[in-house]
Amino acid sequence: MKFGAFVYEPEKAEGFDLHLLRVKLETGDRIPPVQDMYSNIAVFADNAAVRSHPDWISQSPLGPARMGNNNFNIYWSVVCATQPEHRAEQLDYMEDVDRHSLGVWLNSQYFADHGHCTCPRCKERWKKSGLSWFEWRRKEVTDYIAQIRERVKKDLVMSIQPDPITACERYGVDFDDFAKYADAFNVVMFSKNYATPWYWEMLARGFKKLLKKPVYISLYVFGPGDTAKDVSSASELLTVSVRCARAGIDGILYLATGASQLKDFQKAAVDKVELRQRLKSYGGQPVQEVLDLVKSWEKIVE
Ligand SMILES: [Zn+2]
């Protein structure tokens, strides 16, 4: 298994195999990529693009993909996934970011949610295609991923929502289509509470069965604006890590504001001596690898 640091600040945290930097956020804010880190890019979720071009927003019978439209799990304003200028600009951007880092991990590289997009351009493209609604959306998304693959020469990783069943109906995402172009998947399992690890373990197991490329998962440690009370304890994070590891996944990334917040987590994890001992009985080799990782942190948190 590989273990990664998934951060907002361009500093590599000690004690991880790979480093993923959020170079473009769903707010539209961008920071420069770093040569020896991977780059995470939010593609269509982009508040800034929608602010500059209000008519680019993705439309649906339940209203636009605007932050605050509670018909959907949408926390950002999302651009229509067929918007040609945004698509072209993002392709150029991805190519440039790829050249200046280790590769590109994408977020929101698909439709906003179910029922999207019904803007006049999408309605016309759907009608012209002769395909069913779901087949048309899938084709739009997959064709764009193929274009991205031509531009990104290094690693290309597809982050996906933690929904193994209705990804096509909601987002136009077909896992087998993605697997043709992606080097790996990253299932985003962010939560500020991992009190019931059973569900996360089940999701990890399900995705490992479905996805035809290596499967990483991302767990939430400590984001911008959080206090210690807002987020999971190190005990919950250790337990959910072990339980997802035994489901056969290929790696775990830990999301935090920066290296210093990850170090706080590493220190708290190292201090859970009894729990680390107990978790040894939770599974075989993959569980041991998580516990070995924590053991390796003993040196760096002293
Ligand atoms: Zn549209």
pLDDT, one tens digit per residue, over 277-301 is 999 999 899 999 999 999 999 999 8
How far apart, in whole angstroms, are the C-alpha atoms of residue 134 and residue 142? 12
Q: How many angstroms is it from 50 CA to the middle of ligand 1?
A: 13
Q: How much is the pLDDT for 213?
A: 98
Mean per-residue pLDDT for 232-249? 98
Distance 160 CA to ligand 1 centre (A): 20
pLDDT digits over 36-63, tens only? 999 999 999 999 999 999 999 999 999 9
| 20 strand-pairing partners | 6, 38
CA of 122 to the centre of ligand 1 (A): 4
Query: pTM (2 decimals)?
Result: 0.97
Question: Does residue 74 have a pLDDT over 90?
Answer: no
Q: How far apart are CA 11 and CA 118, in angstroms?
A: 41
For ligand 1, an ion, list residues with CB under 5 A: 80, 117, 119, 122
Residue 249 has pLDDT above 90, yes or no: yes
| Cα–Cα distance measured from residue 265 to residue 172, given in angstroms and rounded to the nearest whole number | 36
Q: Where are the beta strands (DSSP E) in the chain?
A: 2-7, 18-24, 38-42, 103-107, 155-160, 184-188, 215-222, 251-256
Q: Please give the share of the chain, as a percent, with pLDDT higher than 70.
A: 100
Q: Which pLDDT band holds residue 77 (cuts at 50, 70, 90)?
A: very high
Let me know how many helices (H) and strands (E) the chain has, helices first: 11, 8
Distance between Cα 87 and ligand 1 center (Å): 12
Give the per-residue pLDDT at 283.
87
Q: What's the gap in Å between 56 CA and the centre of ligand 1?
A: 8
